Each structure stands twice: as C-alpha cells, then as structure tokens.
Amino acid sequence: MNADPNCIFCKIVAGQIPAKKVHEDDHILAFHDIQPWSPVHILVIPKTHIVSMAEVGDEHAELLGRMMAVTPRLMRELGVTNGFRHVINTGRDGMQEVMHLHLHVMGGPRPWNKG
C-alpha cells in the first residue's frame, strides 16, 4: 500500500500512533476523531495514502463506495439512531486539515452544531 512516512493517518494505519478503532479491513480504517464535533464522530480513511478528493479517479470508485457503505452499520453499532452526516473536506480552501483523504461521519444530537 502507498504510504507517506510524514502523514499522521498513515502512521495510524501502520500502528505507529494509537487510535480508538471502530472498523478495519484490508482497504479502510475507521476510528474516533480526537476532536469530535458531535457525540459520535468517526473518521473513515483509506489505508493507501490518497491526499484528497482532488486526487481521486475512476480507479478509486470501489474504495470510496466501501468507505460510504460501512458507515450505516458503524453508526448503528455506536448507538446513532436518528441520522448522521457525512463530510469530506478537500484541500486547504475546503478546510482539510490532514492531507490524507478522510470521511467524517457525525451523529447524535445536532452533529453539525459544535459547542
């Protein structure tokens, strides 16, 4: 798998940095966000290093589908029963903070209303 030795998410995938994992398979990893915006806030990342959605091509369609498809089950398992939100920030202007593609999945009361 392609990895960036300076990327914090690649280090999490490699087991060099701990994370509170909720799902892992051969292609993706999901874990709790350390700065949550909602009662349940997980990140779903590809194990291979893709910088952002701007780097995604047709060859990534199955991977992106897998990232989206796993989230309903994960949110149910985490107790989210009244809906959830998906957010992917892309690039600096899109407010992406970690330059490794990641899907935020937020649930619980008003997950988009931080504070």
pLDDT (tens digit per residue) in 25-38: 999 999 999 999 99
Q: What is d(CA 1, CA 110) in angstroms, rounded to the nearest whole number?
A: 37
In 3-state terms, the chain is what percent helix, strand and coil (to 5)?
25, 20, 55
Q: What is d(CA 39, CA 24) in angstroms, rounded to the nearest whole number?
A: 21
Give the residue-averaged pLDDT of 2-16.
Answer: 95
pLDDT of residue 66: 98
pLDDT of residue 69: 98
pLDDT of residue 112: 57
Q: What is d(CA 54, CA 77) in angstroms, rounded to the nearest whole number?
A: 31
Give the residue-averaged pLDDT of 76-96.
Answer: 96
113: pLDDT confidence band, cut at 50, 70 and 90? low
For residue 109, report the phi and psi dihedrals to the nearest 5 degrees.
-55, 125
What's 88's DSSP letter?
A: -
pLDDT of residue 93: 97
- Tell me how many degrees the CA angle 77-86-42 measures, rounded to the nearest 5: 45
For domain 8-107, give the CATH number.
3.30.428.10
Q: Whole-prediction pTM value?
A: 0.93
Question: Mind telling me the catalytic residues?
Answer: 102
Whether pLDDT at 48 is above 80: yes
